[in-house]
Amino acid sequence: MQINKKLLFLFLIIHSFGFSQADSLKNIWNDHEQPDTVRIDALRKLVWQEYIYSSPDSAIYFGEILLKKSEQINDKKRMSTAYNTLGTGYYFLGDMETALTYYEEMGKLIDYYPSQAAEAVYLGSLANIYFYQEDYQRALDHYLKVANIFNETGQRGNEATTWNNIGNIYKDLDSLDKALESYKSSLEIREEIHDSIGLATTLSDIAKINFKQNRSKEALQNFHRSLSISEHINCDDCLANIYLNLAEYYHDQNRLDSSLFYGKKGYQISTDRNLTLRAKEASFQLYKIYKALGKYNQALNKHEEFLAIQDSIRNDEFEREVIQQELKYEFQKQAVEDSIKAAEEALVKDLELKAERAENKRIQQRSYFLYVGLGIALLFGVFIYNRFKISQKQKGIIESQKERVDLAYKQLEEKNHEILNSINYAKRIQSAILPPDSLVKQLLPQSFVLYLPKDIVAGDFYWLEQAKDEILFAAADCTGHGVPGAMISVLCNNALNRSVREHKLTDPGQILDKTREIVISEFEKSEREVKDGMDIALCAFKNGELKYAGAHNPLWLIRKDSNEVEEIKANKQPIGKFVKAQPYTTHHLNVASGDTVYLFSDGFIDQFGGEKGKKLKAKYFKRLLMAIHNYPMPQQKEMLLKAFSDWKGELEQIDDVCVIGVKF
């Protein structure tokens, strides 16, 4: 599916919010004097304006903040919009399962946001997911409902965009007549509301359908109508798009001179205006034209340019921008201000200010009575005495309030101490399920385990077991971190043990199948649906043969004297509930002396840091492992630890880290 298809409905969602300038929104979010609802709305608008397209990682980070703040004030409407933000962030990351989960949570709260606009956003979000998953019938059902809502509410521009989406689905289904009918519905609305950019886009879509139906004359007329509108409104991207469409049209007609003319024009405007994706498309189009003309040197040149642009799109300059640390700091600062100590200081300051004002009033009144004379001296004395009593009473109130605050703070400290003791004890329990160092060294002499929990307890864990003459080892990452993650890790560790010890399994794929069955069975005992689970890379080693199976987490293998990392991909499904669960695949590998394998969770790769505060990423991690894999295993561990620390710098560790290295 082309990326422009996936963006169409998000245009509708963004249209449902009013935007201010980014700096103004940041200022509102950072102003803690503003009401919580105002600050939440400002941050939501900022996320949709600045991050939702260019930096989904950041959008997800701020979406979590929006959800937490909305939950704190129990605002169901704003919780709904937070779920929408999170769902859309994961949608742009390509994680459709997680996106669908958040959209479903949004749907549960739709009654608290009872407007047709909210219903349209919800239905359209689900339609996007179904479209991406090629579940066309459900996507159509939802888009048709959305189009009806926009028609009833008079949102004609959004209705036109929705009809374009419907046309795209019918085109993918090769139902050309229905696609043409849908595009024409969009065209009529856009002509009515004078949407020039929309007209250019829809006319181009109609022309493509005409061409597929062998109606070349109509196709050419609509292409030129689109071109005329694009030239009139001076829309660079529209012009580049229509030039390239015309180039493709004439190429298919075998009119190569005309095809080359429009291909060059599309290429020129794309490169002049830095339209990177269009430039990539134009380079490939010119490659095909030059090849058809027999101009192989020029064709080769354009193909190399196409590949260079494709690589540049993937490099660090086009990666998503990381979360802005200044907003994170402000959020943490606000949390501190909400503490008991802040409450105590605010209360004492308020009461002292009241006493000071009372004293100032007393002095002013005393000065007034001094001018009256000795005749009212007795009355003045009585007044002074009364004011003294009031001051004493206020002082007593201050001291009493301060004592209560001190007591509350002390009780909070005691409660925190009890919680900390409980968590530390939980750490002892969790440590007890981890393989002892002596067993690791006994079964895997040349190995290391780098284990860095984010909090006292962790959702990551490593696992080691000997079954007959096979050595099983794994790196696992359970949902969440801290106490919730640790609870899931104990359950999943137990499921692994049962799969091997009770069911006598040694094949990694079969072990993961049985582990998933046990974990789901345990969760189904709950009255509430539990979607937590585990990602894992699991290996079994015996006599030079390595077997591997994975749930999301891959295996990296570096052969002795090799200059590249060999990646064995995992099944894209977790240990837990999954819509289309399949048996896990066991991969068989022959390993020789000096070969090294690495298993890991995503904590190392996802850590923010470096000069630009960006994610470390898998590419850098591979380069790092290639640089150190010939060193002794204990030294590799120290080098990885230092690299992680240097990259993280002063930033907070965002997740648990678990890396296992084994040299054979």
User: Residue 372: pLDDT above 80?
Assistant: no
How many other CB atoms are found less than 10 A from the CB of residue 535? 21
Residue 300 pLDDT level (bands cut at 50, 70, 90):
confident
**Residue 567 belongs to what H/E stretch?**
strand 566-568
User: Are 560 and 623 a contacting pair, CB within 8 Å?
Assistant: no
The average confidence (pLDDT) of the chain is 80
The packing angle between helices 633-648 and 617-628, to 10°, is 150
User: What's the pLDDT band for 182 if we cut at 50, 70, 90?
Assistant: very high
Residue, of 633 and 533, whose pLDDT is higher:
633
Given a cut of 60, is residue 250 above it in pLDDT? yes
270 neighbors 251 (Cβ within 8 angstroms) = no
CB atoms within 10 A of CB 141: 15
Q: Which residues on neighbouring strands pair with residue 536, listed in sequence order?
A: 476, 552
Cβ partners under 8 Å of residue 233, min gap 6: 196, 197, 200
Q: What angle do CA 454, 459, 460 make, to 5 degrees?
A: 85
290 band by pLDDT with thresholds 50, 70 and 90 = very high
Q: Which residue has the higher pLDDT, 411 or 226?
A: 226
Strands 657-663 vs 447-452: parallel, antiparallel or unpaired: antiparallel
Residue 381: pLDDT band (50, 70, 90) is: low
Q: Where is mean pLDDT largest: 82-86, 120-124, 652-656, 660-664?
A: 660-664
Rounded to whole angstroms, how far apart are CA atoms 600 and 448?
A: 12
Q: What would the pLDDT profile of 598-636 be if each residue is shown by its tens digit?
A: 999 989 998 888 877 788 888 899 999 999 998 999 999
> Look-up: residue for tokens 């269009």?
278
- What integer pLDDT is reported at residue 635 of this predicted model? 93
| Predicted TM-score (pTM) of this structure | 0.45
Which pLDDT band, with edges at 50, 70 and 90, does 509 fall under? very high
pLDDT band at 347 (very low <50, low <70, confident <90, very high): very low
Q: Are 618 and 605 in contact (CB under 8 A)?
A: yes
Nearby residues of 259 by Cβ (< 8 Å), 6 or more positions away: 246, 247, 248, 249, 250, 251, 253, 289
Check residue 337 and give its pLDDT.
42
Distance of CA 307 to the CA centre of its chain: 28
d(CA 247, CA 293): 14
CA 84 vs CA 20, 43, 45, 90: distances in Å: 20, 14, 12, 10
Exposure of 246 in the CB half-sphere (CA atoms within 13 A): 26
